[in-house]
């Protein structure tokens, strides 16, 4: 990683990693750039040997030195004698700290708020950013939707978030004068120590369920990874927890730092009460102590109210008034692939959602059922990121909560396979209520032709990810665009359904 500003003298490595070192490190060794990719080493870099899922960077340390590395940070002694190698307890943590130090530790120049949880991270990050902007703050945002440095909106960073990318993003936010940075933090980011060296001013945990167990290995490992966000909190920083989530309540009982809680069922500092719910909007009462305010949002479902609560509670920790919070929440009228309505004049509701786990699908389908007078039709097909061990459970949820369903892939037919579809179907108690349509575009077209007035169609698993070529140009389209194309291609049929 190259620093974003000139570093004439470099960073003294021994003092930076004093708590991590498990061996000697020359006092005179100063670092001005680093990398964990031996293929990207340039003369003068420090090479950090990191063990990945399919590669051990320690095995490439000698190659890194031949390419010009002036030192090696590693977790075990290596047969390298030309340059110093500093042995640390965790090279990933050392890499994160070094990347942050090389750009001037931007998390100490602004208030960085971390948002994690099994579901709702991206939504809460965007809601909180909107509230803080409504309150007059200059806010940077880094989440799965993309990167907003406070001035320019950019597409998502390619691939998993890395320590260099995180450090550069935070440094850019600090450079343009951001007062706050809202950052989505996944369980993998926490397990990989991507956020090492980042000091959080607040941490919001939406809730902790079951997810990515194929990667973490066990439910306990997953929960421990989520808890690790608390290790990044400054001494006086506040934790925001869901009082209706049993795992978060357990964490609450273990914490000795400032905590604020939110919920809809049990006792909490911030609460919400549903007033109205319709297919195109809902209204709820947001309450904090003796104060309350009504909030109207076009994104439906109880799970979205929880997301609003999480964002509101975090904003209250910064002294934002309830009326300002309500205005910020209401300003977010659409989130791509999050219970996103598609309206083309049809007489039934179409909702596109990224839900790709049993819990997320349950929330999504429950929200659709609450505002539907007719049948609930579900189209599900997940991306490669979906936990394969959860596929039968996903089928059980769809089978129990929908009236008709199509199981498909997260890609065009020529790249799909029956295997994941059959695993989802295996969870259905009655397979007569589901059909397998490998081609996702055809599955969506089936749902559009099947729906009648008053029905609701939920298309889940991919959200706003582009996946299927649409039209002669062959550009990739997402579920929302495929729905519109399907509805536009059969206007007479749609009009007949509306009049029926």
Task: State the residue for tokens 């090479």.
Answer: 47
pLDDT-derived band at 70, boundaries 50, 70, 90: very high
CA distances (Å), origin 196, targets 86, 142, 162, 175, 190: 18, 16, 11, 21, 9
Fold of domain 106-331: 3.40.1190
CA distances (Å), origin 191, targets 49, 90, 227: 17, 12, 10
Looking at the chain, the number of H-run helices and the number of E-run strands are 17, 25
**Average per-residue pLDDT for the chain:** 87
Q: At the fourth CATH level, which superfamily is domain 11-102?
A: MurE/MurF, N-terminal domain (3.40.1390.10)
189-193, 212-216, 269-273, 377-381: least confident range: 212-216
Q: Which residues pair with 31 in a beta bridge?
A: 11
Q: Which residues contact 332 (CB under 8 A, 6 or more apart)?
A: 126, 127, 130, 297, 299
DSSP 55-88: -BGGGGHHHHHHTT-SEEEESS--S--SS-EEEB
* E runs forming strands in 218-269: 233-242, 259-263
Residue 9 token pair: 């003298």
Phi first, then psi, for residue 85 (nearest 5°) are -125, 130
Residue 492 is inside which H or E element, if any? helix 491-499
Query: What is the C-alpha to C-alpha distance for residues 160 and 166, in angstroms, rounded to an integer?
Result: 10
pLDDT tens for residues 287-317? 999 999 999 999 988 999 999 999 999 999 9
pLDDT of residue 145: 85
Query: What is the C-alpha to C-alpha distance for residues 96 and 101, in angstroms, rounded to an integer?
Result: 9
Average pLDDT on 350-369 reads: 91
pLDDT of residue 256: 82
The answer to whether 339 and 456 have CB atoms below 8 angstroms apart is no
Query: What is the C-alpha to C-alpha distance for residues 196 and 192, in angstroms, rounded to an integer?
Result: 9
**pLDDT higher than 90, residue 142:** yes
pLDDT-derived band at 412, boundaries 50, 70, 90: low
Using DSSP's 3-state secondary structure scheme, residue 221 falls into helix
pLDDT of residue 248: 87
261-275, 290-304, 406-420: least confident range: 406-420
Average pLDDT on 145-150 reads: 77
Phi first, then psi, for residue 312 (nearest 5°) are -65, -45
pLDDT of residue 239: 94
pLDDT-derived band at 344, boundaries 50, 70, 90: confident
Domain residue limits, the chain: 11-102, 106-331, 340-499
Average pLDDT on 361-369 reads: 92
**pLDDT higher than 70, residue 99:** yes
pLDDT-derived band at 416, boundaries 50, 70, 90: low
pLDDT-derived band at 85, boundaries 50, 70, 90: confident
Q: At the fourth CATH level, which superfamily is domain 340-499?
A: Mur ligase, C-terminal domain (3.90.190.20)
DSSP 217: S
- Which long-range contacts does 36-39 make (Cβ < 8 Å, 24+ apart)? 36/91, 36/95, 36/163, 38/63, 38/64, 38/67
Residue 446 is inside which H or E element, if any? helix 440-450
Phi first, then psi, for residue 359 (nearest 5°) are -65, -45
**pLDDT higher than 70, residue 69:** yes
């Amino acid at each position: 990683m190259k620093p974003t500003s000139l570093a004439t003298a470099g960073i003294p490595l021994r003092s930076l990693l004093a708590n991590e070192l498990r061996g000697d490190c020359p006092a005179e060794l100063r670092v001005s750039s680093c990398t964990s990719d031996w293929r990207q080493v340039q003369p003068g870099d420090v090479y950090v040997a990191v063990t990945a899922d399919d590669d051990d960077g320690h095995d490439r340390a000698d190659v890194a030195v031949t390419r010009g590395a002036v030192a090696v940070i590693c977790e075990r002694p290596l047969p390298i004698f030309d340059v110093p190698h500093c042995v640390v307890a965790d090279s990933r943590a050392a890499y994160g700290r070094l990347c942050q130090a090389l750009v001037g530790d931007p998390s100490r120049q602004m208030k960085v708020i971390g948002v994690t949880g099994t579901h709702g991270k991206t939504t809460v990050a965007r809601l909180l950013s909107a509230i803080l902007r409504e309150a007059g703050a200059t806010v940077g945002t880094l989440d799965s939707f993309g990167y907003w440095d406070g001035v320019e909106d950019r597409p998502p960073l390619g691939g998993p978030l890395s320590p260099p990318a995180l450090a550069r993003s935070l440094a850019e936010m600090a450079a343009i004068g951001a007062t706050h940075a809202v950052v989505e933090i996944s369980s993998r980011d926490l397990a990989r120590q991507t956020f090492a060296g980042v000091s959080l001013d607040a941490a919001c945990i939406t809730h902790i369920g079951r997810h990515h167990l194929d990667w973490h290995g066990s439910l306990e490992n997953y929960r421990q990874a989520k808890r690790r966000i608390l290790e990044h909190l400054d001494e006086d920083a506040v934790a925001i927890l869901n009082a209706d989530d049993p795992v978060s309540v357990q964490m609450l009982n273990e914490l000795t730092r400032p905590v604020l809680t939110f919920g809809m069922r049990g006792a909490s500092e911030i609460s919400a009460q549903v007033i109205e719910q319709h297919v195109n909007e809902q209204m709820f009462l947001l309450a904090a102590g003796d104060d309350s305010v009504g909030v109207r949002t076009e994104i439906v479902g109880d799970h979205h109210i929880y997301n609003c609560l999480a964002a509101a509670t975090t904003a209250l920790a910064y002294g934002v008034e309830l009326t300002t919070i309500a205005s910020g929440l209401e300003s977010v009228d659409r989130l791509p692939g999050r219970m996103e309505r598609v309206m083309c004049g049809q007489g039934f509701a179409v909702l596109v959602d990224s839900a790709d786990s049993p819990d997320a699908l349950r929330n999504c389908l429950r929200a659709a059922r609450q505002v539907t007078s007719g049948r609930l039709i579900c189209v599900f097909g997940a991306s490669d990121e979906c936990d394969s061990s959860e596929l039968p459970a996903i089928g059980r949820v769809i089978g129990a909560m929908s009236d008709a369903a199509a199981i498909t892939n997260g890609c065009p037919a020529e790249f799909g396979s029956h295997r994941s579809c059959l695993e989802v179907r295996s969870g259905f108690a009655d397979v007569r209520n589901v059909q397998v349509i490998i081609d996702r575009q055809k599955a969506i077209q089936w749902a559009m032709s099947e729906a009648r007035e008053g029905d609701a169609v939920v298309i889940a698993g991919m959200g706003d990810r582009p996946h299927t070529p649409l039209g002669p140009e062959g550009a990739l389209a997402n579920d929302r665009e495929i729905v519109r194309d399907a509805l536009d291609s059969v206007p007479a049929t749609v009009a007949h359904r509306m009049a029926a």
